[in-house]
Structure 1
Amino acid sequence: MTINLKDRIALVTGASRGIGYFTALELAKAGAHVIACARSVGGLEELDDAIKAEGGSATLVPFDLTDMQAIDQLGGSIFERWGKLDILVANAGILGVISPIGHIEAKVFEKVMLTNVTATWRLIRSVEPLLLKSDAGRALILSSGAAHKCRPFWGAYSASKAAVEALARTWAAEQQRTALRVNLIDPGATRTAMRAQAMPGEDPNTLPHPAEVAAAILPLASPEMKDTGRLFVVRENKFVDYRMPE
């Protein structure tokens, strides 16, 4: 299926590497102008080069997602330049540490929550008015199977993703009568730096490349996607399951 995103504006966080990088590239290849956000200037510049090589266009916004004032200003800047936002991909997040709950340092736990949860809420608040100005606003929020499996030693990350899912599901319910569709994505085990941090002994070549996951995610950004409030699960480069959490 060919996805046409010509003249649509897409914002991607965590766009300097991994799933964010390749999702931004897929959006640009489909015709969207990508607003790429990340801390790494070098990674964003590499993304810009890749997008230009495909004939696409991007605006690079290097900043740390824990900078709440920068998130607020981002919404205003998008409004001044484009007047709307068609696609949000809230991808950025951190793992924290793999540790027993009682051994996690307070500053580490708080940073995971700030980056994964509070920043996502702040981003929603900043861009919601812009998405509502689109004829078919689409918000894609990255989650994880950790939100449901709650494995030992993954407490901080699991709790943060469970909170993100609650935010997204609530937001979707609030927007039922608008053109904005809000969905969650569990990309599954993917060949990323975060996965390597969590599973240092794992052979990355046994995992899907983030480009494959990004290709599976792309259709959710299309105006033709009408579902909302759903959790889409990517396995083997496609959605093998999607469900409405009870």
Structure 2
Amino acid sequence: MELAGQLAVVTGAGRGIGEAISKRLASMGAFVMLVARDMERLERVQREIQSSGGSAQAAQLDLLNEQSIAKFAENLCAHHGRCDILVNNAAIGSTGTPLHEMPPAEWDRLMATNLRGPYLMIRALTPMMIAAKSGHIINISSLAGHNPLPRGAAYSASKWGLNGLTYSVAEELRPHNIRVSVIAPGSTNTRFEGQGDRKDPNKKIQPDDVGRIVAMLVTQAPQSFISEVLIRPTQKP
């Protein structure tokens, strides 16, 4: 059990990529804190992990609410005193309209979830990693953070921003022996909010493809304090 004794926090853990990552980490021995807004979904994932012999706990958290994140971090520190792995996975998509037709409120909600949310999670949980002089933060980005995305400019901008945040935070945390990585999947077979494409699901990346990359990153010997992995549908791991 490569991750025995370690605690992982996964946002957006109630379905899709977050669920796959959580189950993968739990199967490797980590105690996984499953966080999202929907407790019903989280509790289902928790039961499935526990029925497979893993350890997990569901915790309701709203990435749009700074107090919700602060309270979660306070409880985590009080009851567990550690955070070894943080996976910032939760995200929403845009409605597929041109940028000049997007209401400012939709822009604000997308940026608050996809970019401000990871910032708040890093801000809240990094102090425990610094105290332990170890840790690994993994941000789930997108190929849209590298390529043009017509009718998805806001989503693309949020992922370009997440990439920049990742690279910069990696340099900030290097002296504390904390690694920061980013994974950029292409079109993935999930019920992703705002994703309206009609591509063949069998030709998309599957959620556990991302889970396997996370497993690789958290167990490989660190060659650097920043890692980036791009996953294209035609080049599945």
Shorter chain as denominator, the TM-score bin is over 0.9
- Residue matched to 1:191: 189
Residue 237 in structure 1 maps to residue 236 in structure 2: yes
Task: Report the Cα distance in structure 2 between the residues aligned to 1:223 and 1:135, rounded to whole angstroms.
Answer: 18
SS for the counterpart of 2:132 is: coil
Query: Quick check: 209-218 or 182-191, which moved more?
Result: 209-218
Task: Report the Cα distance in structure 2 between the residues aligned to 1:16 and 1:155, rounded to whole angstroms.
Answer: 26
The Cα of 1:218 is off from its aligned counterpart by 1.0
Q: Is the 8 A contact 1:139 1:221 kept in 2?
A: no
Task: Report the Cα distance in structure 2 between the residues aligned to 1:150 and 1:202, rounded to whole angstroms.
Answer: 18
- Structure 1: which 5+ residue stretches go unaligned? 239-246
Aligned-pair Cα RMSD in Å: 1.6
Sequence identity percentage: 31
Instruction: Describe how 1:45-194 pairs up with structure 2 within 5 A.
Output: 45-194=43-192
> Number of residue pairs matched?
235
SS for the counterpart of 1:176 is: helix
Task: Report the Cα distance in structure 2 between the residues aligned to 1:191 and 1:163, rounded to whole angstroms.
Answer: 23
The Cα of 1:50 is off from its aligned counterpart by 1.4
Q: Is the 8 A contact 2:5 2:31 kept in 1?
A: yes
The Cα of 1:223 is off from its aligned counterpart by 6.7
Task: Choose from 210, 215, 228 the match for 1:213.
Answer: 210
The Cα of 1:131 is off from its aligned counterpart by 1.7
Amino acid of the structure 2 residue aligned with 1:173: E
Task: Report the Cα distance in structure 1 between the residues aligned to 2:24 and 2:236, rounded to whole angstroms.
Answer: 14
Query: Quick check: 157-166 or 86-95, which moved more?
Result: 157-166
The Cα of 1:85 is off from its aligned counterpart by 0.7
SS for the counterpart of 1:55 is: coil
- Residue matched to 1:228: 225
TM-score by length of 1: 0.90
Task: Report the Cα distance in structure 2 between the residues aligned to 1:167 and 1:216, rounded to whole angstroms.
Answer: 20
After superposition, give the CA deviation of every residue in 1:78-97 in whole Å (9 maximum; x if it has no partner): 11111111000000010022
SS for the counterpart of 1:36 is: strand
After superposition, give the CA deviation of every residue in 1:163-210 in whole Å (9 maximum; x if it has no partner): 111111111011122210001111222101128x43432221222321
After superposition, give the CA deviation of every residue in 1:20-51 in whole Å (9 maximum; x if it has no partner): 00100000000000011012222111111111
